[in-house]
Amino acid sequence: MSDNSVRIPASSQTVGPYFRIGLEYLVNRNSVPSIVPAGMIELRGRVLDRDGVPVPDAMLEFSSGAGVGRLLDGNEAKSGIPEGFRRVATDDKGEFALAIARPVAETSSDAHFLVLVFARGLLRHLITRVYLGDEVRNDKDAVLLRVPPDRRATLIARADEIQAGLYWWDVVLQGTNETIFFAW
C-alpha cells in the first residue's frame, strides 16, 4: 500500500470488564479535590441502564473544549494531563465525580463538554454532550436547539442549589429517558 492511498481505520472493540487494569490510573490521578479551584467545576452523577439500574463498570471521558488541545504551565505540564480532560469510572453504585475546567466556548453560543461513554456491553463507545444548567448561552446553542425540547434535559447538568460550581448529570444508556447520543 502506498502512502498516497487512503487507509481504513481500525475497528472498535468493547472496553470489556477489565479496563480498570490499564485505564484507571488516569482516573486516580485526578480525584476531586476538597476545594475545587477557580475556573473548574465539579460534576457528579450516575450511569444507569434501561431499568434505572446503576452501571458499576462504565468509563466516561470529558473534554471541555480548546483547553484540551494544549498543555498549560504548572500542574498540567507536571501531570501531563490537560485540565480540560478528565476520565472517570463508575463505582459500585454507578456513581462518578470529577473536577474539570469550565467549557471553553468555541463560539459565542457554544459552551459544553463532549462526553465519551465506554462500557462492557458497547462494541463502540457512545458520544454525547453535557451543558451546564445555569449557562445563558444554552438558549442559543445550535445543537441543543435541534434536540427535541422534551429530550433536551438529558444533555443538561443541573446546578446544585447550595454549592456553587457543583452540577449533577446522569447518563441513561437506554430506555424512555435515554440520553441523546450523537452519530459519528
What residues make contact with other proteins under the rule CB under 8 A? 3-23, 25-26, 61, 63, 65-66, 68-71, 76-82, 84-85, 106, 114, 116, 118, 123, 125-127, 143, 146-147, 180-184
Q: What is the nearest approach in angstroms of other proteins to the Cβ of residue 157?
A: 18
Nearer CB in complex with other proteins: 22/51: 22
Nearer CB in complex with other proteins: 80/149: 80
| C-alpha cell, 133 | 444548567
Nearer CB in complex with other proteins: 159/180: 180
Q: What is the nearest approach in angstroms of other proteins to the Cβ of residue 46?
A: 20
Helices (H), 5-126: 20-28, 75-79
Q: What is the nearest approach in angstroms of other proteins to the Cβ of residue 105?
A: 12
Nearer CB in complex with other proteins: 17/149: 17
The C-alpha cell 490521578 sits at 29
Note the Cα 118 to chain centre separation in Å. Answer: 11
The C-alpha cell 458497547 sits at 122
Q: What is the nearest approach in angstroms of other proteins to the Cβ of residue 53?
A: 17
CB 54: neighbour CB atoms within 10 A? 16
Nearer CB in complex with other proteins: 23/159: 23
114/129 Cα distance (integer angstroms) = 5
75/112 Cα distance (integer angstroms) = 23
Q: What is the nearest approach in angstroms of other proteins to the Cβ of residue 130?
A: 14
- What is the 3 state secondary structure string of 65-79? CHHHHCCCCCHHHHH
The C-alpha cell 434505572 sits at 52
